[in-house]
Structure formats: C-alpha cells, structure tokens
Amino acid sequence: MSSHPKNKTLAVWLALLGGVLGLHRFYLRGPGDWIGWLHPIPAALGWWGVQRVLTYGQDDKLSWLLIPLLGMTIAVSCLTAIVYALSDREKWNRWFNPGLPADAVSGGTNWLTIGALVFALLLGTVAFMGSLAFGFQRYFEYQVEEARKISQ
C-alpha cells in the first residue's frame, strides 16, 4: 500500500466517471491491479455492439448480446461508487488507509461525495434498466418472429 492516503470522495467520482476503465481501482490499488485492467473489456465489447447497431441495424443479433454488456458495466461501476460513498469513515480507512487512524479525514464524506452518490444512483438505474429493456425487447421480438415462421 502507498503511504499517500486514499480519498473517498475522489474514489467515488473516479468509479462514477471512469469506472468502466477501472480508474478507481488504479487509484486505490495501483497500476498492478489486474482486475482494473479487465474493466475496459466488457465496455469495449458493448461499444462494439452499439457500432454494430449503427452499421447493420437493430436486427443484428450479436449486438443484442453486446450492448447489454456496456449497460451492465456502467451499472456495476455506479454500484461500486455507491458502496464507496456509503461506507463510513472507519471502514474506508480500514480498507484503503490501514496505516492511518480510523477517524482520518481522507475517509470522510462531504457534499461532493453525496453529489456523486446521487449521480451514481441515477446513472446506474438508467443503465441497468435500459440494458434489461433492450435485451429483453430484442429477445421477445426474435421469439415472435420465429413463432410467425413456424405458423406459416
């Protein structure tokens, strides 16, 4: 662990704005965090799905699987921001500032932390529900098309 204290508010904003790239993990655990390096993969696959829809249209079945990856990645990053924002000072300092006293200022919550929490709740809900709606809508439309083929 680094001797530099890890600020909770900064970590929450990094999870919210750069969570799909793993920025919060690199801030908290350093560039050697292998899980942080995995974060961009599902996000990139989701963006590829968006590009496939723009190129081939909504009937592209591969995009049906790829686009929800982007939404779920955004939702998980927002969930991480929410967990970080709601952790109390003692728990934060125990997790990420073990060399500091339990009541160290870097683990505190302020209005910027609360603002990030509100945005994370909003963005995470929209991304999660949008991913579910898109995936299920395309799946059920496909089922209706297949049923029509069978009935004819």
Residues of the chain with pLDDT > 70: what percent?
A: 98
Provide the pLDDT for residue 1. 45
Question: What does the domain layout of the chain look like in residue ranges?
Answer: 8-151
> What's residue 2's pLDDT?
52
Supply the pLDDT for residue 3: 67
Instruction: Average the pLDDT over 109-119 and give the result.
Output: 97
Question: pTM for the complete prediction?
Answer: 0.87
Take residue 41 and report the two structure tokens written for it: 């993969």
Q: What is the mean pLDDT of residues 115-137?
A: 93
Mean pLDDT computed over every residue of the chain: 93
Question: Among 10-14, 53-57, 127-131, which range has the highest average pLDDT?
Answer: 10-14
Q: What is the pLDDT of residues 55-95, one digit of tens each?
A: 998 888 898 889 999 999 999 999 999 999 999 999 999 99
Q: Phi/psi of residue 124, each to 5°?
A: -65, -40
pLDDT tens per residue, range 14-45:
999 999 999 999 999 999 999 999 999 999 99
